[in-house]
Amino acid sequence: MATEVPTTQTITLAGRRFVIVPEAQYRELVQETWEPPLPKPDAAGNYPAVDAARVVLARKILRWRRALGLSAADVARRAGVRVETMSRLEHARHTASEATVRKIVRALEAAETERKPKGPGPSKRSRKPKATRR
């Protein structure tokens, strides 16, 4: 299946070139690629551990959820957590309890299992080609 390339226009303002795309496409692009940024490192180049861990967890949840085509509300419902909790976790504003992370992981694993094709897999019997007579 060929993907449709959106029609774009460009405009130059103050010597800078900008691409104009329909708002729906812009929102889709922004939504699909946004991830919380890592915190700034200190003078020695070290990241604050708790803040960095929040971001790493948030990015993993976001990527997994998006790969499954689920909304944050879908995952929250499946996991039995509040939508606000999912939002705070995905924006790295909250340190999740171990129990909450387990619920979310189970919900994502279940969704992943549901997506796998059902039905008979390849036969376990190996079929040998028939011998030909000369």
Predicted confidence (pLDDT) per residue in 26-62, tens digit: 777 776 668 999 999 999 999 999 999 999 999 999 9
Q: Which domains does the chain have, with CATH numbers?
A: 40-114 (1.10.260.40)
User: Do residues 52 and 95 lie in contact, with contact meaning Cβ atoms separated by under 8 Å?
Assistant: no
Distance of CA 64 to the CA centre of its chain: 4
The residue among 37, 110, 108, 96 whose CA lies nearest residue 72 is 108
User: Do residues 72 and 87 lie in contact, with contact meaning Cβ atoms separated by under 8 Å?
Assistant: yes
pLDDT at residue 13 greater than cutoff 60: yes
User: Do residues 74 and 30 lie in contact, with contact meaning Cβ atoms separated by under 8 Å?
Assistant: no
Tell me what the mean pLDDT of segment 71-82 comes to: 97
**Mean pLDDT over all residues of the chain?**
86
Q: Is the pTM of this model over 0.75?
A: no
Q: What's residue 23's pLDDT?
A: 79
| Percentage of the chain lying above the pLDDT 90 cut | 66
| 97-106 per-position pLDDT tens digit | 999 999 999 9
Q: What gap in Å lies between CA 99 and CA 87, rounded to an integer?
A: 17
Q: What's residue 25's pLDDT?
A: 78
Per DSSP, the residues of 74-100 read HHHHHHT--HHHHHHHHTT-SPPPHHH
